[in-house]
C-alpha cells in the first residue's frame, strides 16, 4: 500500500513538476519568497566556488528556505525538496541568461563541445537534511549562427541554465549524454527517488 504522504516542492520549475508526476510523487508547490525576514535564495556563486559545490549549496538553501516557510506558516510538516541546476564549461558556471545576447554567447560557447550539467537535490524535514548530486556530460553539435538565432527566437532559453532545454527544441543539438537525462532536465529521478524513500515515501 502506498504511503499517503506528500512533499513540498520549493521550485517554480514546470520541468520539475512534470518529473515528479512521472514517478508518482504527490506534491504542493511552495513559492520561495520573503517569509518573516528571510528572503529568496540569492543564486550567485561565492568567489572561487566550484560548480558542484555551488549547486549543492543552492539546493540546500532552497530546501531550508522552504522548510522555514512550512514552519512559520504552520503547514503540515511534509518534507521539502529543493533543487538547482547549472551548466559548467571550462570550469565556468553558466546559469540562467538574463538577456538574449547573454543566451547567444552561452550557446556559442557550448557549440561543438562537451560540457557538464550538475543538478543537486536536497530534502529537508525538521533538522534533517539529505543531499544528492547528479553530474552529467553533454556534447553539443556545432551550431551555426542561423541555428542559434532560430533557437533564440523561440524564447525557450528563458529561465534555463546554459540557455537551453534538452527536453525541448535544443534536444536536436545534443550528440551524446553521459549521465542522467532527467538530471540534465533539472531533476535526476534516480537520486530523487532515493532521497524521498529515505524520508518514508514509497515510489
Residues catalogued as catalytic = 84
d(CA 124, CA 126): 6
C-alpha cell at 165: 532545454
Strand partners, 122: 82, 131
Comparing CA positions, the residue from 32, 27, 194 lying closest to residue 122 is 194
Cα dist from 185 to 58, 68, 76, 95, whole Å: 17, 27, 29, 14
d(CA 136, CA 32): 27
Handedness of CA 128, 57, 16, 98 (dihedral sign): positive
Report CA 189 to chain centroid distance, whole Å: 12
Q: How is residue 191 annotated by DSSP?
A: H
* Contact indicator for 65, 46 with CB cutoff of 8 Å: no
132 SS3 class: strand
Amino acid at each position: 500500500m502506498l504511503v499517503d504522504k506528500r512533499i513540498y516542492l520549493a521550485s517554480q520549475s514546470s520541468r520539475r513538476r512534470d518529473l515528479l508526476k512521472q514517478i508518482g510523487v504527490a506534491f504542493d508547490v511552495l513559492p520561495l519568497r520573503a517569509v518573516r525576514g528571510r528572503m529568496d535564495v540569492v543564486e550567485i556563486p561565492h568567489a572561487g566556488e566550484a560548480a558542484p559545490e555551488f549547486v549543492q549549496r543552492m539546493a540546500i538553501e532552497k530546501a531550508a528556505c522552504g522548510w522555514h516557510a512550512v514552519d512559520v506558516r504552520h503547514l503540515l510538516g511534509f518534507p521539502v525538496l529543493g533543487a538547482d541546476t547549472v551548466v559548467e564549461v571550462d570550469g565556468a558556471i553558466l546559469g540562467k541568461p538574463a538577456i538574449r545576447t547573454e543566451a547567444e554567447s552561452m550557446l556559442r560557447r557550448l557549440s561543438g563541445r562537451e560540457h557538464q550539467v550538475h543538478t543537486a537535490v536536497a530534502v529537508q524535514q525538521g533538522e534533517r537534511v539529505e543531499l544528492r548530486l547528479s553530474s552529467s556530460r553533454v556534447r553539443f553539435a556545432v551550431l551555426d549562427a542561423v541555428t542559434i538565432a532560430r533557437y533564440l527566437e523561440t524564447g525557450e532559453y528563458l529561465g534555463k541554465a546554459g540557455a537551453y532545454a534538452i527536453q525541448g527544441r535544443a534536444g536536436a543539438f545534443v550528440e551524446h549524454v553521459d549521465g542522467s537525462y532527467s538530471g540534465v532536465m533539472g531533476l535526476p529521478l534516480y537520486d530523487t527517488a532515493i532521497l524521498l524513500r529515505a524520508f518514508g515515501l514509497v515510489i
